[in-house]
Chain A
Amino acid sequence: MTAHSNQNQKPSLNIFQMVGAALLNLFEKTGAITRFIGLSLYHIVTPTYFPSQLWRQLKDIGYYSLPVVGMTALFTGMVLALQSYTGFTRFNAEGAVASVVVLSVTRELAPVLAGLMVAGRVGASIAAEIGTMRVTEQIDALTTLSVNPYKYLIAPRVLAGAITLPILVLIGDIIGVYGGYIVSVYKLGFNPNNYISQTWDILESMDVISGLVKAGAFGFIVSIMGCYHGYNSGRGAQGVGNATTNAVVSASILILIFNYLLTQVFFS
């Protein structure tokens, strides 16, 4: 019943109609998502709580994302060291490699890349799971069993996303810097002690904190987009497929937009 009502409309070729329809659609979507976010936040803070569901989501979203985020961070740190070294030798600034690695990883690369990887892994699975539950009437069944679907399905996922991504990114920071260290020391012949002291000298707590705040925002975006698109999934396999695609695409784009906005807030 919640299938998008404009799903079957034929596209019009009239330019005014097209622009108008696109604008109306944008406003409608923005309103619907805002309302969804408001409802989700309301149900996160008000009882009843489902701790067992939250625990399950913390494991699913957080713990099981560790390998993906770890690999991403490791190779990003490694390639960063390699690239900056080959670039910096052109003007004899090899000493800056450690600084470049630690600042890029903590401020930008760990939160953004972890966010995008988690959007692909977690956003898709949230949308597919909730979408399937919508299509097979399991969400309606929750309601008839006196369990509010927002509290049981949405709140634990959104909360788990916002809590676990900063933790993942903190671990990713460490692994990323270590990746840079490995390449610099074992391949490029840097002095290990110098590399570590250079890393600590340049790093300020704000670099890490800003990255973690970003990660919290990205985690929220990923899980709320997965939930929203799954919850409003169209009918059938195609509906769930579209919901999954939309969840990943919208979460990825929003992560990039909010990354810019948050960077501006922190560093200007």
Chain B
Amino acid sequence: MSTIETPKIKLTGVKKAFGNNHILRGVDLEVPAGKSLVVIGGSGTGKSVTLKCILGLLKPDAGTIEIDGQDITNISAKERDQLMLKFGMLFQGAALFDSIKIWENVAFGLIQGRRMNRKEAREIAIAKIKAVGLKPEVADLYPAELSGGMQKRVGLARAVATSPEIIFFDEPTTGLDPIMADVINNLIVEQVKEIGATALSITHDMGSVRKIADYVAMIHEGQIIWHGSVEELDNSGNEYIEQFIHGRADGPITRRVA
């Protein structure tokens, strides 16, 4: 996946430890502009921490993170706020703001982050709510009144409402039934394509990977141990990948059940 143009997102030797617990042991990762990379790996291998380091929610101990060729590892809080305008994210639990209405959630980045007037923002929000397959009537409900799958859809609408250049998906299908998972996967592909964004997802759902990925990287014990295109996934010749995509208990990846 090496390209001549500057990759949208580039991680070089990123390390992060919590006390003696070394989560990331030098992660190298590249996402080309306009492509979708999915990072797979078991629970606790460092997927979420990688994402949080890129977002600046956690500060890596070593290594660099570049967005559009600019090193963002040590930028100021103000520059960080500015940079965030490029990002959108769908959280695992949707993370909707439960004290405000659905449409205000979807329009949040527009009203509070970009200071758009409420009327205009509401129109965009309603359009996005429709685009993710919800009825416009849900706009005036509160998040607690929606099912898990509907909340995920609203979360997706909120993530794409500001037309970000980069979108992160944190386990987008976890906790959903297989049909709803497929619906969400389709919506992700559709929305990402529509706004032409670069996507970085983390998941352990192989169905999701095959649907939304252009490229796949596998993280194990804090390092990327394999990466390639989604077509190469099935004949990677890598026994870690083989074990993971077929979900076998036996193989090189051993679970420490301590």
User: Chain A, interface size: which category?
Assistant: 10 to 19
> Shortest CB–CB separation between residue B100 and chain A, in angstroms?
11
- Asked if B112 contacts A50 (CB within 8 A), the reply is yes
Count of A-B contacts judged by CB separation below 8 Å: 64
Contact of A148 among B55, B58, B81, B115 (CB under 8 A): B81
Q: Say what secondary structure dominates the interface of chain B.
A: mixed
Contacts of B95 in A (CB 8 A): 136-138, 140-141
Evaluate whether A146 and B113 lie within 8 angstroms (CB atoms) in the complex, with A137-B93, A141-B91 already known. Answer: yes
Whether, in the assembled complex, A262 has its beta carbon less than 8 Å from a beta carbon of chain B, the answer is no
A194 at the interface (CB under 8 A from B): no
Give Cα distance in the complex from A194 to B97, angstroms.
57
**15 more CB-based (< 8 A) A-B contacts, given A137-B92, A147-B109:** A1-B18, A1-B57, A136-B93, A138-B98, A140-B95, A141-B89, A143-B84, A144-B55, A144-B87, A145-B88, A145-B162, A146-B85, A146-B113, A146-B162, A147-B112
Give residues in B with beta carbon < 8 Å to A.
Answer: 18-19, 49, 52, 55-58, 77, 81, 84-85, 87-89, 91-93, 95-98, 108-109, 112-115, 158-159, 162, 168
Shortest Cβ distance from A226 into chain B, in angstroms? 16
Interface residue A193 (Cβ < 8 Å from any Cβ of B): no
B93 touches A145 (CB 8 A): no
Q: When the two chains form their complex, are residues A1 and B58 in contact, meaning their CB atoms are under 8 A apart?
A: yes
In the complex, are the beta carbons of B109 and A146 less than 8 A apart? yes
Tell whether, in the assembled complex, residue B109 and residue A140 are in contact, meaning their CB atoms are under 8 Å apart.
Answer: no
Candidates A1, A137, A144, A145; contact of B112 at CB < 8 Å: A145
Q: Is the CB of B93 within 8 A of A147?
A: no
Task: For residue B82, give the distance in angstroms from its CB to the closest CB of chain A.
Answer: 8
Cα A48 to Cα B55 with chains together (Å): 21
Contact flag A138-B108 (CB < 8 Å), given A1-B58, A5-B18, A144-B87: no
B55 and A140 contact, CB distance less than 8 A: yes
A218 in the interface (beta carbon within 8 A): no
Query: Closest chain A residue to B92 by CB distance?
Result: A137
